Chains A and B, each alone.
Chain A
């Protein structure tokens, strides 16, 4: 069964510095990978996805993520963090080995950007 790991519960970064939120995955086939963000008392919002093609994927709010098949990783990055980026970030993966497999989420990483 597919799984996703977010090894850091919390990431702290100073405003203006680059940020990275880590994600690794495990699938039997090829992965479809997603990043979502959740602000307090809100639902999850889609940021970006990797389906196929270019390993570097650009998404909303200046975020990007790099798919690395050999390291089974899909880390989320942003060149310059904003205080407003502070939120809970979820990585999710869907395995393509069988027809309709569920989207499985990691436990989330709380990003705190300090002014």
Chain B
């Protein structure tokens, strides 16, 4: 069974440029998460989807970040414009029955963003 797939793995851009990350969760997983992991830190939740509905986006900086999961399967996270402080690894994860809270998350390998 394929795991969570993310692309691109690495992205280097100049500040003020836009960037987008894509995630395809494990088949059948209705809950999808985007986390940001800064160097030397644990992952921090940006947004969580239950199917196509964003149920927790309180930590998403909405002035420059946006996300979508139109058909309740794959998802895109966009930053426009990027700032130096956005340099981080963006992790996508999925789980079964996220609303019940007992299931573990399955993570992709992450997209490492460097903003120059």
Query: Considering only CB atoms, which chain B residue lies closest to A47 in the complex?
Result: B104
Collect the chain A residues with CB atoms within 8 Å of residue B50's CB.
100
Interface size class of A (residues with CB under 8 A): 20 to 34
Collect the chain B residues with CB atoms within 8 Å of residue A36's CB.
107
Is B45 in contact with A43, judged by CB distance below 8 angstroms? no
Collect the chain A residues with CB atoms within 8 Å of residue B45's CB.
102-104
Is A32 in contact with B102, judged by CB distance below 8 angstroms? yes
Chain B 49-67, CB-CB to A under 8 Å as 1, else 0, gives: 0100001100000000000
Q: How far does the Cβ of B30 sit from chain A's closest Cβ, in whole Å?
A: 13
C-alpha spacing A36/B93, complex, angstroms: 13
Chain B 36-57, CB-CB to A under 8 Å as 1, else 0, gives: 0000111111001010000110
Collect the chain B residues with CB atoms within 8 Å of residue A42's CB.
109-110
Q: Are A34 and B104 CB-contacts (below 8 A) given A43-B4, A99-B99?
A: yes
Kindly count the residue-residue contacts between A and B in the assembled complex, taking CB atoms under 8 Å apart.
58
User: With an 8 A cutoff between CB atoms, is B25 at the interface?
Assistant: no
Is B106 in contact with A105, judged by CB distance below 8 angstroms? no
C-alpha spacing A49/B107, complex, angstroms: 16
Q: Are A44 and B91 CB-contacts (below 8 A) given A105-B43, A105-B44, A108-B41?
A: yes
Number of interface residues of B (CB under 8 A): 26
Q: How far does the Cβ of B43 sit from chain A's closest Cβ, in whole Å?
A: 5
Collect the chain A residues with CB atoms within 8 Å of residue B41's CB.
107-108
Further 17 A-B residue pairs, CB within 8 A, beyond A43-B6, A44-B43, A103-B105: A32-B101, A34-B104, A42-B109, A42-B110, A43-B91, A43-B109, A44-B91, A44-B105, A90-B42, A100-B99, A100-B101, A101-B101, A102-B56, A104-B45, A105-B42, A107-B42, A108-B40
A-B pairs, 8 with minimum CB distance: A105-B42, A43-B107, A46-B104, A44-B107, A43-B109, A107-B42, A102-B45, A51-B102
